Amino acid sequence: MVRTLAPFNLPIFMVNDASSDKTRDVLEALEQDTPLLTLVHHQTNQGKGGAVQTGLNTAYAQGFTHALQIDADGQHNLADIAPMLALSQNNPKAVISGAPVFDDSIPKHRFISRYITHFWVTIETLSFALKDTMCGFRVYPLAPYDSLQRRVPLGKRMDFDIEILVRLYWQNTPVIFRPTKVTYPEDGASHFKLFKDNLLISWMHTRLFFGMLRRIPSLLGRKFQS
């Protein structure tokens, strides 16, 4: 992943979410060999959402206006980085998100869970505007993100990717989707905890549903304006 990103000549923030000492040694050696790579360590495991937030916060603190989020498990088609960055440059106020195009490698339970989440997101936004909220391949404008995360505690685990897009939509941050091929590697390791993460996502949808109820006038008003 790091070698593939290097030709883009972009600063890379890699978050070590309290991995083992052996993994930490490998990552620190990689940092030494990669001039644009900055390694950030968590002392305790925070989950995917916590790691992404640390990366975004670090980039913003260093003066960057936008950040590209990429999962480290090899799912994403990195050939789409350049077009996504171009879209972001032309639409600097918008989140640019991948809209996954899956092949046969996607596990069936993940495919079903995406449809369930999409159903709830449609209700929470009263809109079909958010075509996918689970793809971790995005370009964020950091100022709207920072404003949001200072006001609302965001999910730290697998609930983050969904919640951040819904809440950014609520605060009128545009979201633009671009189709991108997503592949699940045969030897890939999933950190999705079936019971715990599904419980967190269910609780998140409950909060977002009740948050939607008090936003009905503004969400419907936006619909009529468009």
pTM, entire model: 0.90
**Which residues have CB under 8 Å from 7's CB, separation 6+?**
none
Look at residue 105 in the predicted model and tell me its pLDDT: 62
Look at residue 51 in the predicted model and tell me its pLDDT: 95
Give the pLDDT confidence of 159-189 residue by residue, as tens digits: 999 999 999 999 999 999 999 998 876 655 5
Distances (CA, A) of 39 to 4, 60, 193, 226: 17, 15, 25, 43
What per-residue string of b and e applies to 18-47 under the rule 16 or more CB within 10 Å gives b? eeeeeeeeebeeebeebeebebeeeeeebb
Give the pLDDT confidence of 83-111 residue by residue, as tens digits: 999 999 999 999 999 998 877 666 666 66
Domains of the chain: 62-225 (3.90.550.10)
**Phi/psi of residue 145, each to 5°?**
-60, -45
pLDDT-flagged residues of the chain (< 70): 104-111, 185-195, 226
Contact, 38 vs 13, CB < 8 A?
yes
**Phi/psi of residue 185, each to 5°?**
-60, 145
